[in-house]
Amino acid sequence: MKQIKIGIIGIGRMGQIHLDNLMQKFSEVEVVAISDINVEARQWAAKYNIPKFYSDYQDLISNQEVNTVVICSPTNQHAENIIAAAQAGKDVFCEKPMDLSIQTAMRVLQIVERAGVKFMLGFNRRFDPNFMKIKSLIDEGKVGEPQIVKITSRDPAPPPISYIKSSGGMFLDMTIHDFDMSRFMVNSEVKSIFAVGRNLIDPEIGIAGDIDTAVVTITFESGAIATIDNSRQAVYGYDQRVEVFGSEGMAGTENNKSDNHYYYNKKGQSESLPLHFFMDRYIPSYFNEMKAFIHCIVHDEAPKVGGQDGLISLAMGWAANTSMQENRVVMLKEMLN
């Protein structure tokens, strides 16, 4: 069995999640190096007795002991990190997206394919137990042929304006997860997209060039239709729901809550609100996606979420932007030509 020795690039919020999981829950792997431009991240190397800390990611990739790279750097560094790791013959897991540019993402995929390494993107919601259950019901034929998919994805509060300015916008940063989820559920390729976006929460988001509220309609080659509704501010918590209606039935999942109690009295009913942050809501999914990545290396299998999945979701984001700006239905192939 291949001995997996991991280097992690970027020890911010996501890097810390993956580092904690790898160190505490995966006895078959060894984290031998981490890299971050912030020298304060050295504390994570000390916490877990990781032998090497680098301020330059190139030094991590040059480390001959590292044969697998987990990339959690800022989005604008993903492409160069992936390319460097792949060309050095390292297997790669990278947080989404590969890049904000479709052309750059295509070039990344070409380089990865030539290198012949494993490459998986971090669309963690595919590995959420709730959504995995819905997917299994679809695959078992319990729902029949999917006809209508409804996805709700609403954050409890907007991110800082500084983040919004560099994120690529709602469709490429937030909705991209929902784009991937729609394809995951429908099992068909995307034909067209129509999107409407507004600023209904914070005018500063509009000044920064983004939207905070959106509805997207997706038509698939199979004829199925999906709708996605997004908001940057749901005052009651982190709202994450999926429903799939098909020829043989319907399957859906409600929000995760801190507990499942409900209480009735003469005034009405009360129950707990949804969990309030994605790091609480998706804890199991981050473990499950890393488990899937390690599995594909050990068993020499194709990753469950490949670079092509990332490219299509990125193209869907740009199609949604184009649709919103031009007020028209956009064929996905327009983005990929």
| Residues 17 and 286 sit within 8 Å (Cβ to Cβ) | yes
Is 70 exceeded by the pLDDT of residue 189? yes
93 Cβ neighbours under 8 A, 6+ residues apart: 68, 69, 70, 71, 120, 121, 122, 290, 293
Residue 151 tokens, joined:
């996805």
Instruction: Give the CATH class of 4-117.
Output: alpha beta
pLDDT at position 1 is 58
Burial class (CB in 10 A: 0-12, 13-18, 19+), 21: middle
pLDDT at position 256 is 86
Average pLDDT score over residue span 286-315? 96
Average pLDDT score over residue span 205-233? 97
pLDDT (tens digit per residue) in 22-68: 999 998 899 999 999 998 889 999 999 999 999 999 999 999 999 99
CATH architecture of 126-281+313-336: 2-Layer Sandwich (3.30)
CA pair distance 221, 331, nearest whole angstrom: 11
CA pair distance 288, 290, nearest whole angstrom: 5
Q: What type of residue is 81? A: N
Residues carrying CATH 3.40.50.720, the chain: 4-117
pLDDT at position 276 is 84
pTM equals: 0.94
Average pLDDT score over residue span 312-332? 98
Residue 130 tokens, joined:
């709730």
CA pair distance 177, 195, nearest whole angstrom: 16
pLDDT (tens digit per residue) in 258-268: 888 888 989 98
pLDDT (tens digit per residue) in 62-87: 999 999 999 999 999 999 999 999 99
pLDDT at position 328 is 98
Residues carrying CATH 3.30.360.10, the chain: 126-281+313-336
